[in-house]
Amino acid sequence: MKMKKILFILFISTLLVGCNGWLDVNKDPNNPQDVPMSLLLPSVELNATYVLAPGSGSLGTGLGEDLGVYTHQLSTREAANVYGADGSEYYLRNAWSGMYISTLQNLDIIITKSGESNAPYYEGIAKVIKAYMYSQFVDVFGDVPFTEANKKADGIVYPKFDNGVDIYPALITMLDDAIAKLKTTATVTVPKTDDLIFGGDVTKWIKTANTIKLKLYTQTYNQKGADKAAIGAKIKAIFDNLATTPLIAATADGFMFPFVSQRTPDNRHPAYGGTYEATQKTTNISPWFFEILKGINPVFSGIVDPRIPYYFYNQLKPSQTGKDGNKFEYRVGGFASIYFGSTGPDNGAAQDKSQTVYGIYPCGGRYDQGDALTVDKSSGTGAAPYRFLTYADRLFLEAELLQAGIITTTPDGNDAKTVLNAAMVEAFRLVDYVAAKANGSQTIPVLTGATKTNTYITSILSLFDAGDANKKMEIIMTQKWISSFGSFVDQYTDYRRTGYPKMFDPNDATMAPSGFVTPPAGGDPDRTLPPVKVSCSLAYPRSLAWSIDEINVNKNAPKQKTDPSTYYVFWDPKKN
């Protein structure tokens, strides 16, 4: 009896002693508490791309999906139609969290770590990406969190928003600092294959940084009261120092993220999955864009762009009836789409197997050799790069600067026409470059040097010669807009800065007489397409609303923009 009770006590006592050690089981066995920079850099580069690229597939992705509609290269039935992408829009929210959480947060860790471990190349690369990404956010949103962003370790949970006008100079400083870091030599910890963009080639990063500076300066000259001479001087300083601090000067120098054809995990261009793999397709090619390339639109009347089969893929042959009884609102031969702002009866008709989709250039889709396939995941590769900033972009910037008189000479010539010519040649070469990267097993003709390419360029240049200053600027910006198909953020910026190219407006009496647009006659073999009612009650948004997620929980955020058509980025010429 006694023995048993003593045993009981002993038993209970063992349960109670030593409990301190017993409770020490709270170290996460699943996730590391630290990782090297070489693991962070690849995710940062990929995530930065997702913030900007278009795409509606399972990868989600970012600003491009809506901005492509705003720049009238795409059309859709989604929120972006009639400028309706507000702060609760999926892509916008995705881009916002992708920017600050997936990209900047990890960039800042790289910057801190590189300082601690004497790895200036990592620091330089991180700062180039950071400066570029911030500039894109300022261009799209105006004011964004900057000085207090990503400082939670310092106790800042609710960062204030900084004015874009104050952020730009800081970005220039950041880029200068990055260039200095990238120019140092003999470091131990250097990026190699973990730098997915340039494979650790620091010279290309220096060129990129310098070209971003050129772009940022250029974007500011149109604001009211701009000191154009001062801006010109800063740009001249860049041109004068090319020997030590070069600009992007070849197609392969271009600042681009290399997507590949791997499906799982999905490292294809995000627009590829959203178009080729998605059975229900939400992205259409805008008839406005198509008509400009086709020479139907007065802007380049009668001049057919040889890039069409690289840009678009028609799932229909010109005389083929719609698959599964698909009906169309807009059709010209094999090209089928819907209008911006349409309220027509056929706008909602299913046409997934018949509509025209992205071709090989924007997303690694299929080069249109006229085979009119119903596209699926294996029609293309998805291995097209996302183009942040290309050599062609640089040349278009130079042409614009010359035309605007900000500068009188550039490394590529001292008149706008010469540089525009070079830019267009490079734009075609870029299409060839991408097609070569993204080609699966098609035979794709080379554009560069082809007769139709030369004819096209010549025709555009004669239009340029014949035009007045405004027309000249319109041609430069329109050509840039065409070349940058798929990279929609800068297009949106360029349009707001310069007013070019002309965008479709349902309320414009010439473009849509009495609120109706009529598809070209004889375009649809099934029937005569009726005029389509179009309308858009919202004025053109001069910036995007902020992500509702940020506004909801950031007590230091400004009030949401109720009317983005009156909210201007600092460089906007309409801003007072």
Partner 1 sequence: MRKLTFLLTCLFLVSVGLVNAQSKSISGKVFSADDGQPIIGATVRVQGTAVGTITDTDGNFRINFSGNEKKLVFSYVGMKTQEVEATNNMRVSLASDSKLIDEVVVTAVGIKRSSKSIGYATATMNPEDALGKSQPDFLKSMQGKVAGVDIRSSQGTPGAATRINIRGNSSFFGNNEPLIIVDGVPLDNSQVATSNQTSGGGAYSNGFSSLDPNDMASMTILKGSAAAALYGSRASNGVIIIKTKSGSVNTAKKKLEVSLSSSWSTENVANLPDYQNTYGAGSNFTYSNSNGSWGPKFGSAGNDSVPVQNGDWTKYYPGSFPSSKKVAYKAQPNNVKDLFQTGLVAENSINLAGGNGKSAFNATLSNMNNKGYVPNSKYERSSISLGGSSNLANGLTIHGSMIFSNTSQLGSQFGENQVDGASSSFARTLFLARNWDLAGLPYETPTGLPISTNNSQYDNPLWDFQHNTVTTNVDRIMANFGLDYQILPWLNASYTLGTNVQNLSRKEIIDLGSRAVGGVGQLKTDKYRNSEFESTFLLTAQKDFLDDLFSVKVTLGHNLNERNTARQAIQGSELIVPGIYNLSNTKTQTVLTDETSQRRLIGLFGNVTLGYKNYVFIDITGRNDWSSTLPVANRSYFYPGVTGSFIFTDALNIKSDIFSYGKIRAGWAKVGRDADPYSLVNTYSINLPYNNSVNSATLSAVSKNPTLQPEFTHELELGTQLEFFKRRLAFDFTWYNKISTNQIAKVTIPASSGYDSYYMNFGKIQNKGIEIDVTAKVIDTKDFNWTLHYTFTKNKNTVLELIDGVDRIALSNVLSGSINPYLEKGMPFGYLRGTVNYRDENGNLLIDRSTGLLIKDPNEKMVGDPNPDFKMGLGTTFTYKNFFLTAQVDWTKGGDIYSTTVSTLLGRGVTKDTEDREHTWVIPGYYGDANTGKPLLDASGNEIANTTAVTTNDLYFGNSFAINSQTEWNVYDATVYHLRELTFGYNVPKKLLTKTPFGSATISFSGHNLWYWAPNVPKHTNFDPEVNSYGTSSVQGIELSAAPTTKRFGVNVKLTF
Contact status, residue 561 vs residue 567, Cβ threshold 8 Å: yes
Using left for φ > 0, alpha for ψ between -120 and 50, and beta otherwise, residue 129 falls in alpha
Q: How many CA atoms lie within 13 A of 359 on its CB side?
A: 25
The interface with partner 1 within residues 345-374 (CB under 8 A) comprises 345-346, 348-350, 352-353
First to last CA, the chain: 96
To the nearest whole angstrom, how small is the minimum distance from the Cβ of residue 95 to partner 1?
10
Please tell me whether residue 116 binds partner 1 under the rule CB under 8 A: no
- The only residue of 49, 56, 219, 356 in contact with partner 1, by rule CB under 8 A: 56
197 binds partner 1 (CB under 8 A): no
Q: Does 145 bind partner 1 (CB under 8 A)?
A: yes
| Closest distance of CB 308 from partner 1, Å | 25
What residues between 14 and 33 interact with partner 1 by CB under 8 A? 15-17, 19-20, 22-33
User: Is residue 575 within 8 Å of 568, Cβ to Cβ?
Assistant: yes
Q: How many Cβ atoms sit within 10 Å of the Cβ of residue 226?
A: 14
| Residue 7 engages partner 1 in binding (rule: CB under 8 A) | no
Task: Using the minimum distance from each CB to partner 1, give the nearer residue, 55 or 309.
Answer: 55
Binding mask 497-526 for partner 1 (x = CB under 8 A): ------------------x-----------
What binding mask, one character per residue, do residues 413-452 give for partner 1 by CB under 8 A, x or -? Answer: ----------------------------------------
Q: Which residues touch 133 (CB under 8 Å, ≥6 apart)?
A: 48, 51, 99, 103, 104
User: What radius of gyration, in Å, describes the C-alpha atoms of the chain?
Assistant: 26
Closest approach, Cβ 453 to partner 1, in A, equals 32
Q: Residues 185, 244, 264, 510: which binds partner 1 (CB under 8 A)?
A: 264
Q: Which residue is associated with the tokens 């000067």?
A: 249
Which of these segments, 163-171, 279-287, 467-475, 519-527, binds partner 1 (CB under 8 A)? 279-287
Stretch that binds partner 1, among 239-247, 261-269, 483-491, 524-532 (CB under 8 A): 261-269
**Closest CB to partner 1 among residues 62, 306:** 62
List the beta bridge partners of residue 357: 313
Q: How wide is the angle at C-alpha 58 spanned by C-alphas 280 and 487, nearest 5°?
A: 90
C-beta separation of 216 from 169 below 8 A: no
Alpha helices of 359-468 — where are they, by DSSP H? Answer: 360-363, 391-404, 416-438, 451-466
Residue with tokens 């009495």: 514
Is the Cβ of residue 111 or residue 463 nearer to partner 1 in the bound state?
A: 111
CA-based torsion, 67, 502, 370, 339: positive or negative: positive
Say if residue 192 is exposed, middle or buried (CB neighbours under 10 Å; 0-12, 13-18, 19+).
exposed
Residue with tokens 């105006």: 142
- 249 belongs to the binding site for partner 1 (CB under 8 A): no
Min dist CB 328 to partner 1, Å, is 11
Q: Is 143 a binder of partner 1 (CB under 8 A)?
A: no
Q: Which is nearer to partner 1, 264 or 451 (CB)?
A: 264
Instruction: Report if residue 126 touches partner 1, rule: CB under 8 A.
Output: no
Cα 167 to Cα 209: distance, rounded to the nearest angstrom: 16
Task: Tell me how far, at minimum, the Cβ of 359 lies from partner 1, in Å.
Answer: 19
Return d(Cα 208, Cα 203) in angstroms, integer. 9
The interface region with partner 1, picked from 210-218, 449-457, 478-486, 559-567 by CB under 8 A, is: 559-567
What is Dmax (Cα atoms) for the chain?
A: 115
What φ, ψ does residue 269 adopt, rounded to 5°? -55, 130
Select the span of 37-45, 203-211, 401-409, 417-425 touching partner 1 (CB under 8 A).
37-45
Residue among 41 and 138 whose Cβ is closer to partner 1: 41
Our finding on whether 244 is near partner 1 (CB under 8 A) is no
Exactly one of 115, 152, 301, 436 binds partner 1 (CB under 8 A); that residue is 152
Closest CA relative to residue 447, chosen from 438, 437, 439, 436: 436
- Count CB-CB contacts under 10 A for residue 430: 24
User: To 5 degrees, how large is the angle CA 122–CA 128–CA 130?
Assistant: 95
399 binds partner 1 (CB under 8 A): no
Applying CB under 8 A, the span of 172-180, 188-196, 218-226, 468-476 interacting with partner 1 comes to 188-196
Residue 57 in contact with partner 1, rule: CB under 8 A: yes
| Smaller CB separation from partner 1, 93 or 429 | 93
Q: Which residues, 6+ apart, have CB-to-CB distance to 92 below 8 Å?
A: 62, 63, 66, 85, 544, 545, 547
Residue 117 is a binding residue for partner 1 (CB under 8 A): no
The helix or strand, by DSSP H or E, that contains position 40, with its residue range, turns out to be helix 37-52
Kindly determine how many residues on this chain lie close enough to bind partner 1 according to the rule CB under 8 A: 120
Which among 393, 447, 104, 145 has a CA at the least distance from the CA of 247? 393
Binding piece for partner 1, criterion CB under 8 A, among 157-165, 307-315, 412-420, 483-491? 157-165
CA angle 55, 58, 63 (to 5 degrees): 30
Of the candidate residues 185, 443, 528, 562, the single one contacting partner 1 (CB under 8 A): 562
Which member of 183, 236, 377, 417 binds partner 1 (CB under 8 A)?
377
| Cβ distance to partner 1 smaller for residue 79 or 476 | 79
Beta carbon of residue 103, minimum distance to partner 1 (angstroms, whole number): 9
497: which 2 tokens? 């800065």
Options 122-130, 273-281, 387-395, 474-482: segment touching partner 1 (CB under 8 A): 273-281
